[in-house]
């Protein structure tokens, strides 16, 4: 069974206006100020997405994709997608045989870039769907309780009862409560976390049930100029479908050591991965 995509879209939302309210006014005002800050942040995020640079970074991930192992990968971003090279598993360097196989896999991408491009296009389609979720946020949720948390501002969100969901994905997302962490100086998203307070039944539970307590969280860091990149990502989604297998998505990832790159071809990216 293909796993549900909606949590990925929500994380994909975490992509990297000038409104910055003085602290006393921010703390004194009500949910209207919280909504103003969210609107300004979303506008700035959409603008920043149009001028996004490419980076190389180190990723440590334990997830369904890694089979529950801790993978350390070198990642290079290109205009057609991310290229990854596995360099360690569970804290241990790869065996010579596995390292050779990994280099051969990368070389295969260089020799047949059309396959990599095709898979990257599919990923970009998911990312495009994620961007559409940016539009969902101000429509489907209400925002309140803006308060300082260190140098950032935390804003709580909960479902807007007046919003009518348009899809099964929206139905699940719309039931979440959580909070945003906003940088009030550049009005950029520092982090987001959400949780299902109760089970979500699809088709009266006959199609699927997403379990209460399912949650996600992500944080970002300022890496260059005004550009923010994902630093940590945590997902714990649980559920069951009567006619299908278990629904599940568990992931913990940490990204570090970001290095700004010029635009690279697939072949140039492969060379960077080998360094």
Whether the pLDDT of residue 17 is over 50: the answer is: no
Distance CA 109, CA 192 (A): 34
Q: Phi and psi (nearest 5°) for 34? A: -60, -45
Predicted confidence (pLDDT) per residue in 238-271, tens digit: 887 655 555 568 889 999 999 999 988 889 999 9
pLDDT digits 0-9 by tens, 120-157? 665 555 455 456 666 788 999 999 999 999 999 999 99
Contact status, residue 3 vs residue 247, Cβ threshold 8 Å: yes
pLDDT at 100 over 90: yes
Q: Are 116 and 108 in contact (CB under 8 A)?
A: no
How confident is the model over 13-28, as a mean pLDDT?
40
Q: Is the pLDDT of residue 105 over 70?
A: yes
CA–CA distance, 145 with 158 (Å, rounded to integer) = 11
Q: Per residue in 198-236, pLDDT tens?
A: 998 877 666 778 899 998 888 999 999 889 999 999 988
Q: What SS3 state is found at 219? A: strand
Alpha carbons 19 and 44: distance in angstroms, whole number? 10
**Residue 242 to residue 117: CA distance in whole angstroms:** 36
* CB neighbour list of residue 118: distance below 8 Å, 6 or more residues apart: none
Which whole-number Å values give the CA distances from 108 to 68, 82, 100, 114, 119, in the listed order? 26, 15, 12, 11, 14
Q: Give pTM, 2 decimals.
A: 0.81
- The predicted model gives 66-95 an average pLDDT of 94
pLDDT at site 156: 96
pLDDT of 22 > 50? The answer is no
Q: What is the mean pLDDT of residues 40-49?
A: 90
Q: Where are the alpha helices (DSSP H) in the chain?
A: 6-12, 23-28, 31-49, 96-111, 113-140, 168-173, 266-274
Which pLDDT band holds residue 18 (cuts at 50, 70, 90)? very low
Alpha helices in 141-265 (DSSP H): 168-173
Mean pLDDT of the chain: 82
């Amino acid at each position: 069974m293909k796993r549900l995509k909606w949590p990925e879209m929500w994380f994909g939302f975490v992509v990297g206006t000038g409104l910055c309210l003085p602290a006393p006014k921010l703390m004194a005002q009500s949910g209207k100020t919280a909504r103003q800050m969210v609107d300004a942040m979303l506008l700035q995020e959409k603008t920043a997405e149009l001028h996004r640079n490419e980076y190389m970074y180190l990723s440590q991930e334990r997830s369904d994709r890694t089979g529950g192992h801790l993978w350390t990968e070198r990642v290079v971003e290109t205009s057609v997608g991310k290229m990854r090279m596995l360099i360690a598993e569970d804290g241990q360097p790869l065996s010579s045989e596995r390292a050779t196989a990994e280099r051969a896999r990368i070389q295969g991408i260089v020799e047949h870039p059309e396959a990599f491009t095709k898979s990257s296009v599919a990923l970009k389609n998911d990312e495009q769907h994620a961007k559409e979720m940016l539009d969902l946020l101000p429509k489907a949720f209400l925002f309140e309780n803006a308060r300082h948390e260190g140098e950032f501002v935390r804003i709580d969100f909960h479902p807007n009862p007046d919003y009518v969901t348009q899809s099964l994905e929206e139905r699940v997302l719309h039931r979440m409560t959580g909070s945003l962490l906003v940088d009030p100086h550049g009005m950029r998203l520092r982090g987001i976390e959400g949780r299902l307070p109760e089970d979500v039944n699809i088709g009266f539970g006959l199609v699927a049930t997403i379990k209460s307590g399912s949650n996600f969280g992500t944080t970002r860091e300022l890496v260059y100029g005004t550009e923010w990149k994902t630093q940590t990502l945590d997902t714990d989604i649980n559920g069951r479908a009567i006619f299908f297998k278990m629904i599940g998505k568990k992931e913990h990832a940490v990204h570090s050591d970001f290095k700004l790159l010029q635009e690279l071809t697939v072949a140039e990216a492969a060379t960077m991965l080998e360094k």
